[in-house]
Amino acid sequence: MMFAQICENLRNLGFAVVLFFTPLAVFAQILQPSAGSSASPAAEEENIVPTFETQKLARTYILDVPAPRGQITDRNGVPLAQNRLSYNLAINFPTPLDFSNAQALSFVREKIDKAEKLIGRTLRISEEAILRSYRNRGIMPFEISQNLSQSEYKEVKDNLPAGMIARPVYVRTYPNGRIAGQIVGYTGKTGRNPDGIVDNHEALWPETEGREGLEQTFNEMLVGKHGEYKLTFDKDGRKTSEKLVTPPVPGYNVVTTLDLHLQELAEQALEAKAKRGAIVVVDPNNGDILALASWPTYDPNLFIPSISSEKFKSLQDDPNIPLLPRAFRSSYPPGSTFKIVVGIAALESGAVQPDDRFECVPALQIGNVTFHNWKKGDRGALNFVQALTESCDTWFYQAGIKTGGEAIIDWALKLGFGAKCGIPLRGEAEGRVPNDEYMKATHGRRLLNGDVANLSIGQGDMQVTPLQMAQAMGIVANGGTFYQTRLVQQVQTFDNKIVTAYSVRAKKTLDLSSETLDQLHTGVIDVVNGPGGTAHQASLDNVEVAGKTGTAQWGPKNKERTAAWFAGFLPADQPRFAFAALYEGDVDSKVHGGSAAAPMIADIFKEIYRGQQANSTRKRRAPEETEVRRAEPVEEDQSD
């Protein structure tokens, strides 16, 4: 088969053809059998010792053809990671390889001078590197510049002097830039460019491997299978044949559950309204993760084909930690969003009835510590729905202590807190649900009433990830079914045959009573839409949003920071989305869940439901039915 035909076959398979060898190129020496030896020709081909002095005696060489890396896509098949054609500038040495050191250096310097004039920049290559390549790898193109820009390639493609080539190679590219960058991850070379003796089964161009995110987790499926390319030479170094023995098999494609549009909206909301934070959106009806956004983030294209030490250090030293995917690798105290869990524990255990009332006072003495409400005035006697709507801390101190720490902890664990969600990404945080064992190990005592009071408003030692919070909201939204959280739908071949499928799976059903669910749904709807609610800034005109705000302090006392939350679901009557939004405040910041996190959710779903009619048919209650007795105006700008 002619070389041009082989190249065309490779191109038809989707490969960049990078076999640029001069006609007299020789790859290896086959040791001649010693006197009296009966070694067969096949045995001769297995004994290859490629050295500079004896390359002319080489007969056959087998090189590996790397496969194109598989794609990573969103749920609709939109590429999140794919390949693009790049060009590397290289020099072909003339054969036979009989240059002296001085001649080799002169030859290369002449080519480099011409290349620099074409691309308009300096190429710094040491004499040592030139000579090492010539002596060890003179039969292979010597690369002097990688990943030419489009303008550089335009200048060189038709103007290269004899002995120089622009080698096409595939490199990874992330067409959406930073969108979902922390989830998709990035790749890096498996090693430095080879400079030793050319080896049998050496890859024709450098390969890459996943270093972070899905690129790392699914690396073995994405890389594909090498092909084999055979070159044969006679004893004088003339090429006698070349053949693609085995075509490479492209890597598998990974199809995620992400919705690129929703992911982009989430990142835009974070960029516009948060210096640091995270937003997670899941489908409550199957556990699919639709958006998993963290801010700040980074563009994985920075790592292609490789990142400079200066740029990497800049990312590492950034105080806002753009390399940290906060959505699943960081945990925070949940604040008042955890009152939903406390409410479930109180109502399901029977410790609190829907009509039971506790006084919402400005402060409460528990042991020798005074616990305050976030509002200064006396709010009067409230039932569960009213207390959840206004997010009364002192109500939940009393209800939590009456319910008991054991029941609250039990329901927190049932809702998925304190355990990894099980997504296929490295470093997922477990969070923390403090029990007696933890308290004894950490503080030298069991859970006391003061600890239960703190737990009842999501403070103290409780820690959750934004992903865990969205997962829990999904369980509440669908009525109690705990679905396995899913980030990847399936892995498939390039011709769409499924290799591995990750099916929707219900892990368990929590058997929440209809009365508890009705109380919860009424409360979280009123948080957003009721007169006394704390999340009015999440309210939308054409869809009813349900949710709960939360504001918590975390970190050492002298550097205490604020975690502002808004978590819930929509549409309220037939939920399609469950969400958690976290705003990570600075030291001494005065942000609150209602004013910092809720507006980000509003921005996202205002766009999703733009132009649609409201699909909630729930009849809103009359104002007097939702009004709670007040001693002072509602402080909406300081909402919990």
Residue-level pLDDT at 190 = 85
- Evaluate the omega torsion of the peptide bond into residue 305 and state whether it is cis, within 30 degrees of 0: yes
Residues of the chain with CATH 3.40.710.10: 260-487+507-638
**Axis crossing angle, helix 127-137 with helix 101-119, rounded to the nearest 10:** 110
Q: According to DSSP H, which parts of 193-259 are helical?
A: 213-217, 219-222
Least trusted range by pLDDT, from 50-59, 218-227, 482-491: 50-59
Sign of CA dihedral 512, 336, 408, 507: positive
Selected residue with higher pLDDT from 535 and 613: 535
- pLDDT tens-digit map of 3-21: 344 445 444 444 443 333 3
CATH of span 3-31+40-256: 3.90.1310.10
Place 306 in a pLDDT band, splitting at 50, 70 and 90.
Answer: confident
Residues 209, 455: Cα–Cα separation, whole Å = 44
- pLDDT tens-digit map of 577-617: 999 999 999 877 788 999 999 999 999 999 999 866 544 43
Least trusted range by pLDDT, from 36-50, 331-345, 445-459, 582-596: 36-50
Does 231 score more than 80 pLDDT?
A: no
Does 435 score more than 90 pLDDT?
A: yes
CA torsion, ordered 476, 480, 481, 487, to nearest 10 deg: 20
Least trusted range by pLDDT, from 87-91, 167-171, 314-318: 167-171
Does 638 score more than 90 pLDDT?
A: no
CA dist 383 to 38, 368, 390, 394, 519, Å?
97, 27, 11, 12, 10
Average pLDDT over residues 421-434: 97
Quote the percentage of the chain above a pLDDT of 90. 68
Residue-level pLDDT at 6 = 40
3 with 242: CB under 8 angstroms?
Answer: yes
- pLDDT tens-digit map of 176-230: 999 999 999 999 988 777 788 878 888 877 788 999 999 999 999 999 999 998 8
Asked if CATH classification 1.10.3720.10 holds for the domain at 260-487+507-638, the reply, yes or no, is no
Residues of the chain with CATH 3.90.1310.10: 3-31+40-256
Residues 483, 340: Cα–Cα separation, whole Å = 19
- pLDDT tens-digit map of 19-43: 333 222 322 222 222 333 333 333 3
Mean pLDDT of the residues in the chain: 86
Residue-level pLDDT at 239 = 64
Residue-level pLDDT at 10 = 45
| Residue 593: DSSP 8-state | I
CA torsion, ordered 550, 577, 263, 420, to nearest 10 deg: 70
Place 274 in a pLDDT band, splitting at 50, 70 and 90.
Answer: very high
